[in-house]
Amino acid sequence: MTRGGDQPGPRDAAEVDLDFFILDSGPTVEPLYTPDSLRSRGIDPERDIGVPAAYPYTRGIDKTPPRAHQPLIKFYTGHAGPEETNDRYRKLVGWGVEQIQMATDLPSQIGFDPDHLMATGEVGRAGVSIASLADMEVAFEGIPLNQLSRVGMLFNCDGPVGLALFVALGEKQGLRVEDYIVDLQNDPLKEYVARGTQFLPIRSALRLACDVVEWCARKAPHWYPLDVCVNHLNAAGAGSTYGTAFALSNAEAYIEELLSRGLTIDEFAPMLMMFLDERDDFFSAVANIRATRRIWADLMKHRYRATDPRSMALQITAYGHGRETRREPLNNIARIAFGTLAYYLGGVQTLYDASFDEVLSVPSDDAARVSVRIQQIIRQEHGFGLTVDPLGGSYFVESLTTDLERGIRKALAEVEEMGGAISAIENGHMRRVIGEGAVRRQKRFEAGLRPMVGVDRNVDNNEGAIAIPLNRVDPAVEERQKERLRQVRAGRDGAHVRKSLAAVLEAARAGSNVVDPCIDAVRAYATVGEICDVFREAFGEWQPSTEF
Amino acid sequence: MPGPIRVLIAKVGLDGHDVGARVVARGLVDEGMEVIYTGLRRTPEQISAAAEQEDVQVVGVSILSGAHLVLLPRVREALNERGLEQVMLVAGGIIPDSDIPTLEASGIDAIFHPGTPVPEIAAAIKKRIGLTHDIDRTDRNHRNDREERSR
C-alpha cells in the first residue's frame, strides 16, 4: 500500500487490496454486474423496481422528470445576529434559493437565552441567535414568508417553540398559515445519540415533537412538521445503512405516538419527510434513497395500513456533501457537486448542499453562492433532469439498492426486536454502533483505505497556496443580542407573558398539546429560554453520559 | 516506573458533537493511557474541577461550535486557578489555523484538526509528559478505584 505518494505502483488485480471495494454502507462492490446479478438477488423488476410514482416508489414519487418538477433549492444558513442573517437571506433569495432553512445557534436550539451562563461564547456561532419573535422579525425583514417556497428551522428539541415562532412571524407579516409553508426538522430522538442538543428526558422530547405534528395535521396539513434524519446519525459514525435503519426506527416511534393520540396514519404520514444521507460513495447515495423509499412504502402499506398513496410516497430531503477537507478547500467544490448530483439523480424533493469553506468556518458569501450555483448547474446544464430515475434499471444500481435494502431491514429488525428506538437509545445500542463505526472509519482513513486527494494522496507540499478568507463572527454580536433581549423584556406586557407561560406549563403538565399556548407565549415576546425553562420545570432535565 | 498517563477528555460549552472526542478517548486507551470523559455540555469550571478530582496530567477539550477563542482560554484560566498550571491542555475541533497563535499564547499546548490520527495525538502527549512527568505514582489502589469508575 502506498500512502503519501502520488501513485501506487503498477500491480495486477489480484494484488489490489479487497478492502478498497468494501463500501462504507456495507456491501462489497463487484467488478461486473449483469442480469445474473438481479436474478441471484431475486429481484423481480415489476414488483421491486416498478414505475415512478407508483408503489413501491423505488423509482421516485414523481411522474414527471426533475426538469419539469425540480427539487427545491434549499439553503441552510444563519450566523451572528439577525441583522447579518437577514443580509445573507436577501442575497440567497436574489441568487435563486427557494427554501431557507434557518441555522440557529446552539443556545437557541437548547433553550438558553443569550444572557444565560451556558450561552457564553456561543451566541451567534454555528447559527443565528434567535431569542424571541423580535429576532425573527429582523431576520425576515423584507422577506415575506410566502415569497419563499418553504421556510423552516431545526429546533429539534424545542419544536413547538420553532413552530410558534413561524406562526407568530407569519401573523406579523399579515399572512395566514395557508399562505406559506413551514418545514421543521423537529426530530429529537437522533439528538440523544448523534447531535447533542437534547435537554429534556427523551419521552418528553418525543411528545413535544409529536405535538408539532399533531398541530399541523389539524391546522396546517400542507406544512412539513418533521424531517426524520439519517444525516447526523451517519455523520456521527453509524454509516448510512445503520443510520437509515435507526432513523426509520425513530420514525416508527413518532408514528406510534401519533397513532396513540387517535390520528389516522393518512392524516399525518404525507407530512413526514426523511433527511437521508450517504456522503462516502456516489452510487451508495443513489441506492440508499431508492432502497429507503421502497422500505417506507412497504411499512406504510403493510404495517400501518395506509391507503393514501401520499403516505406511501416518501418525501426526501438531502444535504449534498463530500468528505470535505481543510487542505486545498476549493477541491471541496468538486466533492460537494458529486454528492449533490447523487441526490438529484436519486430523486429527492428538496435539496441543499454544503459550502466549500464549511469545514473551516461559517460559509462566506462567495462560498454560499457557489453552493447555490452547483444546484443550478445540475438543474440546467447537461441533461441530469431530463428523465425520471435515469439510473434505474442499471444492473449495478438495482443490485446495490437491494443489497442496501437488506442491510437496512436487518438493522431495523434488530432495533425492533429490542423494543424500538427508545429502547435502542436507552440500552446504548445506537450509541455503540455509532461509536464503533466512527472508530472503524477513522482506522480506514488512517490506513489510507478511503483516499483523500490532497491529504493522503497527491499531496502538494507547498500547501496553503490558496488562502480562504474566513467568515468571522464579531464578538460584539453577543452583547448586541443581550441588549436586544433587555429591550424586549422591558417593552413587553409582563402580565401577558406570565399568563401565557403559565398556560404552557399547565398544558405540559396536563399532557395536552402545547403548541397553541406556545404560540400565545411567543406572540407576547416570551423568550425561547423562558419557554424552554417551562419545559424543564414540567419534565425535568436530561443528564449527559460519561461513557465513550 | 511512572504509571499510565491520565487524560480527561472534555466537551465544553453547548456543542453536542462528541464523536471525535469519543474516538480520541478510545484511541488513547489503546495507546495505554487512562481516560475519563466528562460527557457533553460542561463549563470551564466543571472541567477544571474534574481535572483536579481525577488527578489527570492532560486535559483534551473538543470543540466544534466556533466558541473556541472564548472557551478554551477560560479552561486554561480555570485550571490555573486550581493550581493546575502544569496540566497539559490540548484541543481538537474545527479551529482555523489563524486562531492557533492566539490560543497558544493563552496556554493551549497543542491543537489538533479533525481527522488527525490518534497515534499522532498520543505521540504529542507522550513527548510532552515524558519531558515533564517523572513522578512515580505508587498510589495504585487509589488509581484502580478510579479505573473502575471511568469504565
Distance CA A348, CA A66 (A): 9
- In sequence order, what DSSP letters do the residues of A9-75 get, joined into one string? PP--GGGS-GGGGB-TTSPBPPS---HHHHHHTT--IIIII--TTSTT-TT-S-SS-TTTSPPEEEE
| Cβ contact, residue pair A118, B96, below 8 Å | no
State yes or no: pLDDT of B141 exceeds 80.
no
Q: Do B40 and A439 touch (CB under 8 A)?
A: no
- The pLDDT value recorded for residue A535 is 98
**Does the pLDDT at position A467 exceed 80?**
no
A414 vs B116, residue with greater confidence:
A414
Give the chain B residue whose CA is nearest to the CA of A472.
Answer: B66
Q: How far is B43 from chain A (nearest CA, A)?
A: 7
A470 vs B23: CB contact, 8 Å cut-off?
no
Residue A469's nearest CA partner among B98, B95, B114 is B98
Chain A residues closer than 8 Å to B17 by CB = 195-196, 236
- Residue A548 contacts B, CB cutoff 8 Å: yes
* pLDDT attached to residue A473: 80
Mean pLDDT computed over every residue of chain A: 94
Is residue B142 over pLDDT 50? Answer: no
Inter-residue contact A367 to A358 (CB < 8 Å): yes
Point out the residue among A106, A191, A237 whose CB comes nearest to the CB of B14: A106
Residue that is written with C-alpha cell 448542499 in the block: A353
B91 SS3 class? strand
Give me the pLDDT at residue B65, please. 84
Amino acid at A100: I
Q: Is pLDDT above 90 for A241?
A: yes
pLDDT at residue B132, as a whole number: 55
**Distance from the B114 Cα atom to the nearest Cα atom in chain A, whole angstroms:** 9
Residue B125 in this model has a pLDDT that exceeds 60: yes
Interface of B to A at Cβ within 8 Å reads 9, 13-23, 25-27, 35-41, 43, 65-67, 69-71, 74, 94, 96, 98, 113-115, 117-119
DSSP A118: G
Sign of the torsion angle spanned by Cα atoms B135, B34, B22, A548: negative
Residues B118, A548: C-beta atoms closer than 8 Å = no
In this complex, is the C-beta atom of A111 within 8 Å of any C-beta atom belonging to chain B? no
Q: Which three cell numbers stand for residue A543?
A: 443528564
Do A304 and A266 meet the contact criterion of CB atoms below 8 Å apart?
A: no
Tell me: the pLDDT tens digits for A489-538?
999 999 999 999 999 999 999 999 999 999 999 999 999 999 999 999 99
Instruction: List strand residue ranges (DSSP E) for A111-163, in order.
Output: 150-153
Closest CA to A73 of A140, A144, A150: A150
For position B145, what pLDDT does the model report?
38
Q: Is A119 helix (H, G, I), strand (E, B) or coil?
A: helix
Q: Radius of gyration of chain B from Cα atoms?
A: 14
Q: Is the pLDDT of residue A469 over 80?
A: no
- Angstrom CA distances, A405 to A278, A397, A438, B50, stand at 14, 12, 22, 45
Instruction: Give the model confidence (pLDDT) of A445-459 as tens digits.
Output: 888 888 899 998 999
What residues does A376 pair with on adjacent strands? none
Cell 402545547 -> residue: A514
Report the residue of chain A nearest B30, measured CA to CA.
A439
Give me the mean pLDDT over the B7-31 stretch: 93
Q: Which of B13, B39, B96 sits opposite A546 (nearest CB)?
A: B39
Cβ contact, residue pair B15, A196, below 8 Å: yes
Q: Which of A3-12, A31-40, A69-78, A290-299 has the weakest average pLDDT?
A: A3-12
Calculate helix-pair angle for A239-260, A282-298, nearest 10 degrees: 30
A326 shares contact with chain B (CB less than 8 Å): yes
* Chain B neighbors of A455, CB-CB under 8 A: 115
Contact A121 B37 (CB under 8 A): no
What's phi and psi for A11, nearest 5 deg?
A: -155, 155
Task: Give B94→chain A minimum CA distance, Å.
Answer: 6
How far apart CA A401 and CA A141 sit, in angstroms, is: 45
**pLDDT band per the 50, 70, 90 thresholds, residue A475:** confident
B133 SS3 class: coil
Is the model's pLDDT at A9 over the cut of 60?
Answer: no
- In A307-395, at which residue ranges do the beta strands (DSSP E only) sit? 315-320, 350-353
* Cβ contact, residue pair A120, B36, below 8 Å: no
Kindly determine whether residue A455 and residue B115, on different chains, have CB atoms separated by under 8 Å.
yes
pLDDT higher than 50, residue A400: yes
Provide the grid cell at A479: 452583547
Using N-to-C axis directions, what is the helix angle for A159-172 and A202-219, rounded to 10°? 30
User: Distance of CA A491 to CAs A68, A134, A443, A488, A494, Å?
Assistant: 49, 11, 56, 5, 9
Segment A220-244 shows an average pLDDT of 97
pLDDT tens-digit series, residues A266-323: 999 999 999 999 999 999 999 999 999 999 999 999 999 999 999 999 999 999 998 8
Out of A110, A237, A326, closest to residue B14 by CB: A110
Q: Do A120 and B71 touch (CB under 8 A)?
A: yes
| Distance from the A533 Cα atom to the nearest Cα atom in chain B, whole angstroms | 16
Q: Indicate whether A92 pLDDT > 80.
A: yes
pLDDT band at A13 (very low <50, low <70, confident <90, very high): very low
d(CA A396, CA A98): 34
pLDDT band at A31 (very low <50, low <70, confident <90, very high): very high
CA distance A274 to A348: 10
Angle at CA of residue A164, ends A158 and A169, nearest 5°:
130
* Beta strand B58-63 pairing with B88-93: parallel
In this structure, are residues A127 and A108 in contact, taking their beta carbons and an 8 Å threshold?
yes
Residue of chain A with shortest Cα separation from B36 = A546
Q: What is the pLDDT of residue A462?
A: 77
Mean pLDDT for the stretch of residues A4-20: 53
Alpha-helical runs (H) found in A387-542: 395-417, 421-426, 429-446, 476-491, 494-510, 515-523, 528-539
Q: Quick one: pLDDT at residue A471?
A: 67
Residue A249 near residue A204 (C-beta atoms within 8 A): no
ipTM above 0.85, yes or no: no
CA-atom Rg of chain A in angstroms: 23
Residues of A in contact with B74 (CB under 8 A): 121
CA distance A421 to chain B (A): 20
Distance separating alpha carbons of residues A51 and A481, to the nearest angstrom: 53
CA A530 to CA A523: how far, in whole Å? 13
Average pLDDT of the residues of chain B: 86
Q: Which residues, including other chains, have CB under 8 Å from residue A281's CB and lie 6 or more apart?
A: A23, A24, A25
Q: Give the closest of B40, B94, B117 to A359, CB-based.
A: B94
For residues A292 and A244, is the Cβ–Cβ distance under 8 A?
yes
Across the interface, of A107, A359, A548, the residue whose CB is closest to B37 is: A548
Closest-CA residue of chain B to A122: B67
The beta strand positions in A278-395, using DSSP E, are 315-320, 350-353
Spatial separation of the C-alpha atoms in residues A314 and A322, rounded to whole Å: 24
A39 contact partners, CB below 8 Å, separation of at least 6: none
Taking CB atoms and an 8 Å limit, are A196 and B18 in contact across chains? yes
Residue A347 amino acid letter: G
B67 chain-A contacts, CB cut-off 8 A: 120-122, 125
CA dihedral (B74, B78, B83, B84) positive or negative: negative
Contact call for residues A97 and A515 (beta carbons, < 8 A): no
The pLDDT, as a whole number, for residue A342 is: 98
Residue A90, number of CB atoms within 10 A of its CB: 14
Note the pLDDT of residue A443: 87
CB B106 within 8 A of CB B76: yes
Smallest CA-to-CA distance from A466 within A332, A304, A299 is with A332
8 Å CB contact between A375 and A75: no
Residue A540 CA, chain-centre distance (Å), reads 27
Is the entire prediction scored with pTM above 0.80?
A: yes
Give the pLDDT mean for A352-364. Answer: 89
Name the H helices within chain B. 19-30, 44-53, 68-81, 100-105, 118-132, 140-150
Asked if residue A206 lies in contact with residue A188, where contact means CB atoms within 8 angstroms, the answer is yes
Q: Which helix (H) or strand (E) holds A391?
A: none
In a mutational test of the B interface, the residue from A442, A472, A543 whose CB has the highest number of chain B CBs within 10 Å is A442
**CB spacing of B94 vs A361 below 8 angstroms:** yes
Residue A544: its chain B contacts at CB < 8 A?
Answer: 38-41
Measured between CA atoms, how close is B2 to chain A, in angstroms?
25
Helix (H) or strand (E) holding B20: helix B19-30
- At residue B73, the 3 state secondary structure works out as helix
- pLDDT of A1 reads 36
CA of B139 vs chain A CAs: smallest distance (Å): 24
Taking residues A417-442, report their average pLDDT. Answer: 95
Q: Which among A235, A359, A544 is the nearest to B39, CB-wise? A: A544
Residue A288 amino acid letter: N
pLDDT exceeds 90 at position A230: yes
Could you tell me if A467 lies within 8 Å of chain B, comparing CB atoms?
no
Lowest mean pLDDT among A377-381, A544-548, B134-138: B134-138
Report chain B residues whose CB lies below 8 A from the CB of A439: 23, 26-27
d(CA A32, CA A17): 17
Report, as an integer, the average pLDDT of B24-53.
Answer: 96
3 state DSSP class of A130: coil
The dihedral formed by the CA atoms of A204, A520, A117 and B150, expressed in degrees to the nearest 10:
10
Residue A464's pLDDT band (boundaries 50, 70, 90)?
A: low
- Report CB contact under 8 Å: A112, B14: yes
First to last CA, chain A: 31
| Share above pLDDT 70 across residues of chain A, in percent, rounded to a whole number | 95
B41/A548 Cβ within 8 A: no
Please say whether the beta carbons of A388 and A64 come within 8 A.
Answer: yes
For A379-521, strand residue ranges (E) read none
**Which chain A residue is nearest to residue B151, measuring alpha carbons?**
A547
Mean pLDDT over residues A14-38, rounded?
A: 87
Q: What is the pLDDT of residue B134?
A: 44
Closest CA in chain A for residue B69 = A121
Q: How far is A108 from chain B (nearest CA, A)?
A: 10
Does residue B139 surpass a pLDDT of 50? Answer: no
Does A110 touch chain B if contact means CB atoms closer than 8 Å? yes
Task: Count A/B contacts: CB-CB distance under 8 Å.
Answer: 107
Q: Looking at the partner chain, which of B22, B41, B69 has a beta carbon nearest the beta carbon of A548?
A: B22
Give SS3 for A320: strand
